[in-house]
Amino acid sequence: MTLQIRKLSYALGAEITGVDLGKPLDDATFGEIQRAFLEHHVLVFRGPPFTRAQYVAFGRRFGELDTNETYAADKKAPEFPQITLVVSKPKPNGEAATGRFNGQDWHTDHSHLPDPCSATLLHNIELPGLGGDTQFCNMYRAYETLSDGMKKLLEGLHAVHMESVVLDRSTPERYAEARRLNPSTAHPIVRVHPETGRKALYVSDQIKTLVGMTAEESKPLLRFLVEHAVRPQNVYRHIWQKNDLVMWDNRCLLHIALGDYDRTQVRHMEKMTVNGNRCGYTYDGPLE
Ligand code: SIN
């Protein structure tokens, strides 16, 4: 069987069939997958099941995998530190899980670091009966559909990325400690993809402020840019099937987990990230 590629939406995404990720891939087949990845930004593999060891071997073809040193041992797959467990399950008494869940705002993985991961791979193990979808947004299209005036305004601007956390501001010491534990990074608001050379908008819901501006000044522009980006015509909604492996390019996409399911049910994903190149700098300046 030969590899087949089928586009999943106008904006982005392609389904790959005819490839068995449980077997070593020859260079020609891997080259086709790499080209498809750069062209479609999200790849959905619907092939025969594979083991964790085979999953890691496939991920390694794309570069060095993060071993998630800062993660607690119970958040990683035993013997495979490259695989983190993204699991939502009901409370022990069977009631629906509550509170935040992984990936619930528009973001791009690890953008709070100066060298965010280039790609993410997410493998489904268990799905709720209905929903649990993930959406992806094409940030090349978001950039390319801005006016020339806006593109000019954004030239040279940097945005401060930080994970979605509430910082303890009760005392200056606690605030300093919260900042230390939650690093922030300034990235260019327009990012040049290191492999395609194309420009993509690099904004998300996880931005605190623009460098050199107050949060109040920054907010309306950032809100406009995210809303402009995530219009339906730039978005693909992935409806998971059991055993899907989805991989995406963080350098030109945002994604969001919709949480559109009954949280008395289990949703279990296994995630890996491919280390990326340095494109930002550690930011210790004001966030207000
Ligand atoms: C993520 O945001 O990395 C996870 C997305 C998902 O679980 O659908």
pLDDT digits (tens, 9 = 90+) for 137-164: 999 999 999 999 999 999 999 999 999 8
Within 10 angstroms of residue 64's Cβ, the number of other Cβ atoms is: 12
In 3-state terms, what secondary structure has residue 107?
strand
- pLDDT, tens digit (0-9, with 9 covering 90-100), for 50-61: 999 999 999 999
Q: Is the pLDDT of residue 10 over 90?
A: yes
Ligand 1 nearest atom to the CA of residue 104, by list position: 2
- The tokens for 143 are 């950039």
Given a contact cutoff of 8 angstroms between Cβ atoms, the answer to whether 136 and 182 are in contact is: no
CA dihedral (69, 73, 79, 85) positive or negative:
negative
Q: Cα 131 vs. chain centroid, distance in angstroms?
A: 19
Q: Which helix (H) or strand (E) holds 215?
A: helix 215-229
- Give the integer Cα–Cα distance in Å for 105 and 92: 26
Measure 174 CA to ligand 1 centroid, in angstroms. Answer: 30
- pLDDT, tens digit (0-9, with 9 covering 90-100), for 203-230: 999 999 999 999 999 999 999 999 999 9
In this structure, which residue's CA is closest to atom 1 in ligand 1? 103
- Give the integer Cα–Cα distance in Å for 250 and 271: 14
Measure 170 CA to ligand 1 centroid, in angstroms. Answer: 32
Ligand 1 nearest atom to the CA of residue 101, by list position: 7
The conformation of residue 233, written as its DSSP 8-state character, comes to G
Q: Is the CB of 21 under 6 A from ligand 1?
A: no
What pLDDT shows up at residue 35? 98
**Distances from the Cα of 65 to the Cα of 58, 60, 83, 161, 168, angstroms:** 10, 6, 9, 22, 32
Given a contact cutoff of 8 angstroms between Cβ atoms, the answer to whether 13 and 239 are in contact is: no
**Distances from the Cα of 114 to the Cα of 81, 156, 177, 218, angstroms:** 22, 17, 20, 21
Between the two ends of the chain, the Cα-to-Cα distance in Å is 57
Angle made by CA atoms 124, 38, 14, in degrees to the nearest 5: 45
Given a contact cutoff of 8 angstroms between Cβ atoms, the answer to whether 6 and 14 are in contact is: yes
- Give the integer Cα–Cα distance in Å for 67 and 213: 36
Q: Is the CB of 102 under 6 A from ligand 1?
A: yes
- pLDDT, tens digit (0-9, with 9 covering 90-100), for 153-194: 999 999 999 998 889 999 999 999 999 999 999 999 999 999
What pLDDT shows up at residue 101? 84
**Residue type at 128 in one-letter notation:** P
- pLDDT, tens digit (0-9, with 9 covering 90-100), for 236-287: 999 999 999 999 999 999 999 999 999 999 999 999 999 999 999 999 999 9
- Predicted TM-score (pTM) of the model is 0.96
Query: What residues are paired with 235 via a beta bridge?
Result: 137
Q: Is the pLDDT of residue 117 over 90?
A: yes
What pLDDT shows up at residue 73? 95
In this structure, which residue's CA is closest to atom 2 in ligand 1? 103
- pLDDT, tens digit (0-9, with 9 covering 90-100), for 39-49: 999 999 997 89
Q: Is the pLDDT of residue 31 over 90?
A: yes
- Interacting residues of 32 by C-beta distance below 8 A, sequence separation 6+: 3, 5
Give percent of the chain with pLDDT exceeding 70.
100
- Give the integer Cα–Cα distance in Å for 193 and 275: 15
What pLDDT shows up at residue 1? 62
Measure 120 CA to ligand 1 centroid, in angstroms. Answer: 9
Angle made by CA atoms 193, 121, 75, in degrees to the nearest 5: 125
